[in-house]
A and B are shown apart, each in its own frame.
Chain A
């Protein structure tokens, strides 16, 4: 069974640029969630995708957007990057939607905005 993978591992961008982060779900999982983890803090929920549809969103502006593909892999896109977007971005997959259950996290993508 393959775990959750994310790419790239690290990324450095300039303020105002756009970035795309990628995630491959654990085998058999059809639900993907994205979290932002600032240094020294707990992860903050960005949004979730279930069967290619957004299925819930946290308090993040519209410049944070996502996609889920038929193979359940996912992308997180952030436009007009700001310095405060510097964080670890985590992807988590779970086997079903419809009730809270186990989420398995990937290793994350460390984004630095300068």
Chain B
């Protein structure tokens, strides 16, 4: 099966700085890569996703890049704000149904 590794496990940045979270996957058949934000006591919230036929996708302060050759994808958050503080998960999926393989999560702390 697929194996997704995520780094770093914790990330602390100053408000206004950028944050980058990286994930690698093992199965070249994976073709869908979502990112989720999970706040304390809540379920994961989809923030952005990318498919394997696209190299980059941007939504306001958030962007995701995908390198299929190297089998890695990254989340970029610019102009971070305290409300960006949460745990972020990457995931990978392939095949005929929605089985997501999640990374182990990155706890992002944005200091005001």
Contact = CB atoms under 8 A, between A and B. Distances in A.
Given A100-B99, A101-B98, 14 more contacts: A4-B43, A33-B99, A42-B103, A42-B105, A45-B101, A92-B98, A99-B32, A100-B100, A102-B34, A102-B49, A104-B46, A105-B46, A107-B42, A107-B43
Contacts of B4: 42
Q: Which 10 pairs from chain A and chain B are nearest by CB?
A: A42-B102, A100-B93, A100-B32, A105-B43, A56-B97, A107-B43, A105-B44, A45-B99, A108-B43, A43-B102
Interface string A29-53: 0010101000011111100101000
Given A103-B34, A105-B44, A45 B100 contact: yes
B86 to A, nearest CB: 14
Given A44-B102, A56-B99, A90 B46 contact: no
22 contacts: A33-B98, A33-B99, A35-B100, A41-B104, A42-B6, A42-B91, A42-B103, A43-B44, A43-B89, A45-B99, A45-B100, A45-B101, A56-B99, A99-B96, A100-B98, A102-B46, A103-B46, A103-B100, A105-B36, A105-B43, A105-B45, A107-B43
B112 interface: no
Contact of A43 (B31, B49, B94, B100): B100
Contacts of A92: 98
A8 B7 CA distance: 33
Contacts of A99: 32, 96
Given A102-B46, A103-B46, A106-B43, A97 B98 contact: yes
Interface in B11-54: 31-32, 34, 36, 41-46, 49
A50 B97 CA distance: 9
A85 to B, nearest CB: 19
